Structure 1
């Protein structure tokens, strides 16, 4: 129901969902997505309960990837997933960034094969923008955090 009263802001012209519906929505959303800060924190703490997969091309992988990720281009998922990824472990996939559906396509391919999968929101773009180390063809590198995406002191954002 849309409210048309001029005293109601556009924000509330469509009323917020009831708390139970909102809780179900956000719980479902978190079942499908994670973010770069949480993935980085888990990997830095030595988490071994998920596998990170980069489904981009070799040229993209060589340009920069999450250290420790498995390189498995989307087109190869049906052929090589079983040899590279333990089906008992959840998978986190990422691609270039928010403007790319590559991670969603890879997640679909993996889910179709029976893997439990989450998409890392922000992709390698936000991994780099938050100042995390990346592997490249030449070795590893790190950029300074972008103050529009992460605290410049490298601290946890607290959210």
Structure 2
């Protein structure tokens, strides 16, 4: 058995942000943040977002300290939603959130996927109503692409994991 060890990155060439032809390349044209600024940014980002694998793991473990909200239309909900999620379309949040959601319980909201900012609008609406909220990155699209079961109007369904988004021979990606 061989063991791979991490390789230390070695800078080559000219000054930071330049390529061999000395023209700035887009990766470092704007220098990286300081480590302290980067740590603050990434910690803040995790306060606002979660991913489908972490939500799935929490729900599978029986977590009762959060509620998952699907902010899509009834037609979209019927097409497939996260098992155990609450259906609360963004357009109804101001009217219905207080009757459906406990303000003491953090909310994880999702919509279609990364090409849709519906979950962001829903999270904003809930935050303005006083809820602690996170957005589930990837939405229902990545929930399905990672091979997790959905509930549809016809009952439970599951598709195989997409090898471009999730490991097919492991329980999780290890991140």
Bigger Rg over Cα:
2
2:174 is aligned with 1:158: yes
1:41 to 57, 80, 85: 57
Map of 1:64 onto structure 2: 80
Determine the C-alpha separation between the residues in 1 that align with 2:23 and 2:98: 58
Q: Normalising by the residue count of structure 1, what TM-score does the alignment of the two structures yield?
A: 0.94
In structure 2, what is the equivalent of residue 23 of structure 1? 39
Q: How many residues align?
A: 158
Q: Offset at 1:153?
A: 2.2
Compute the TM-score of the two structures, normalised by the length of structure 2.
Answer: 0.86
Q: Report 1 or 2 for greater relative contact order, CA contacts < 8 Å, sequence distance ≥ 6.
A: 1
Q: Point out where structure 1 has 5 or more consecutive residues left out of the alignment.
A: none
- Answering whether residue 9 of structure 2 is matched by residue 12 of structure 1, we say no
1:100 corresponds to 2:116 = yes
1:144 aligns with 2:163: no
CA contact (8 A) 2:114 2:137 kept: yes
Aligned to 2:3: none
Cα distance in 2 between the residues matched to 1:72 and 1:119? 14
Q: Cα distance, 1:15 vs. partner?
A: 1.6
Instruction: State the alpha-carbon separation in 2 of the partners of residues 146 and 94 from structure 1.
Output: 20
Give the RMSD, CA atoms, in angstroms: 1.6
How far did residue 4 of structure 1 move? 5.8
**Which ranges in structure 2 are unaligned for 5 or more consecutive residues?**
1-15
Alpha-carbon distance between aligned partners in 2 of 1:139 and 1:154, rounded to the nearest angstrom: 26
